[in-house]
Structure 1
Amino acid sequence: MTQGSYQQFCPVAMAAEILCTRWTVVVLRELVAGSTRFNDLRRGVPRMSPALLSQRLKDLEAAGVVCRVASQKDPGVLEYHLTPSGRELGPLVEAFGVWGQRWIETEPSLRHLDVTLLMWDMRRGLVTAPLPKRRTVVHFQYPELPAKERSWWLIVDPAEPVDLCSIDPGFDVDLFVTADLRTMTAIWMGMDSVRSAVANGRVSLIGDRQLAADMQTWLGLSPFAKERKLAS
């Protein structure tokens, strides 16, 4: 961590040496959001190489921000957990997101679309309370994407964590959602709404009428969606 040292005694400079390397704050975002396993962290940073992710985790561990522990469910699997020092960074990471939502213009923020990241974020932000007390399957389709990225299934089972599949799980589908990736990203970020997108023909909902009517509620949205845009 000393290679890029600012060589200043200022706490801001010393914190920046740890937190301001490329991808570090984004990795912290995933850890703060609750991801603990390497593969889950990778799904939250799909454009980051596994080697670089491994290096950033080692850097954070050396800085006392992260610790590696054996999984309680799978003792042979290592997990990455925030230390008390790391948990204290939660409000800082949230402040980054609030600032970005308020002050980054809409167009630039929708310039770098990523279906893997969007669906992973939607999976963990899903609000299950309004959904039926049975297995519910929602199939998202993005017709403009390559075949391997076009279809995604969100599976909500009251007895299990919400699951995300990019390969057909073989269950009956309760709701088909067809949209372009830009529109769905804008909805999730709070820059658009399900009702408006359906009315304008940018989103198609076929299947369970109640699921379709409640989509804006159970979709959950980005934790920053409530922040009002201040950028001109």
Structure 2
Amino acid sequence: MEITNLYSQFCPVAMASEVICTRWTPLVMRELLCGSVRFNDIRKGVPKMSPSLLSKRLKELELAGVIKSVQTERGASEYHLTQAGEELRPLVIGIGNWGQRWVESRLSLRNLDPSLLMWDIRRNFDPDPRPSRRCTIQFLYPELTELLRDWWLLVDEEGTDLCRTDPGYDVDILVTADLRAFTSVWMGITTLSQEMETGAVTIDSTSDLEANFRKWLKCSVFAPQKRMVS
């Protein structure tokens, strides 16, 4: 693994920082560690990162031996972690755990991003058992612009898909929410029941499907961390 030492220090902390502490790189690593292997899927986890910069960071990580590019049978490129990349898992997760414990919630909830929130929800959504027929869940954030207001999760026996445009199916579950409130639920700062009691979140569905939705909806992997600041 060849690294250019811009810090001009032999210290391993300095050497490692050259690889993983450039702008956006820890978030790219988060996406890779969460299982994203295709360029467009990685982009969904870093929606405010330009495609050109993402491409540059992936090339840098490949040169550093953290990931390797693999061609599928269909000719598409996928990015897979090497042993060196996988060994970064406790470090990246540790950074997230520290942020959950020590960064004030008002600062966390200042950086609202519906694209990241919905992508996170989609990949952690856990219908178990999966419904025997397709279940369409619409998320409506009334305060947002038309472009970001509506999102759909399609859940069936094969998997869970996230749609930005109306898929044209009847909606089984409609979740209407204040974006800050639902982000707070996702991060484990508040609970779904608490936000529903205040009216910040409403669920329109049958009682059975609402119960299923509550079971299927999981919080962020960092939510279990006990917060040390309010």
State how far apart, in whole Å, the 1-side matches of 2:121 and 2:164 are.
14
Confirm or deny: 8 A CA contact 1:103 1:231 kept in the other structure. Answer: yes
C-alpha distance after superposition, 1:32-72 (max 9, x if no partner): 00001111111100000111100000100000001100125
Offset, 1:127: 1.0
Q: Which amino acid aligns with 1:47?
A: K
Per-residue deviation, 1:110: 0.4
Aligned length, in residue pairs: 228
State the SS of the aligned residue for 1:129: coil
Shift of 1:215: 3.3
Whichever residue aligns with residue 43 of structure 2, its letter is R
Alignment of 1:131-142 (within 5 A): 132-142=131-141
Name the % identity: 53
* Distance (Å, rounded) in 2 between the aligned partners of 1:20 and 1:181: 30
* CA–CA distance in structure 1, aligned partners of residues 210 and 11 of structure 2: 53
Distance 1:183 1:132 in 2: 27
Partner of 1:171: 169
> Partner of 1:89 in structure 2?
88
- Mapped to 1, the partners of 2:28 and 2:87 lie a distance apart of 15
Q: Deviations over 1:65-102 (max 9, x none)?
A: 01100125xx2111111111101111111101100000
Deviations 1:133-177 (A, max 9, x none): 321111000000000110000011112x31000101111211000
> Does the 8 A contact of 2:130 with 2:156 survive in 1?
no
Gaps of 5+ in 2: none
Cα distance in 2 for residues equivalent to 1:135 and 1:116: 23
Q: Are 1:113 and 2:112 an aligned pair?
A: yes
Partner of 1:201 in structure 2?
Answer: 199
> Partner residue of 2:41?
40
Partner of 2:26: 25
Equivalent positions of 1:8-19 (< 5 A) are 8-19=9-20
CA distance in 1, matches of 2:223, 2:213: 15
> Are 1:130 and 1:214, in contact at CA under 8 Å, matched by a contact in 2?
no
- Alignment correspondent of 2:122: 123
**C-alpha RMSD of matched pairs (Å):** 1.3
TM-score by length of 1: 0.94
- Distance 1:228-1:214 versus aligned 2 partners, 3 A rule: farther
Task: Give the secondary-structure state (helix, strand or coil) at the position aligned to 1:80.
Answer: strand
TM-score, length-scaled by structure 2: 0.95
1:225 matched residue in structure 2: 223
Identify the residue that residue 55 of structure 1 maps to in structure 2: 56
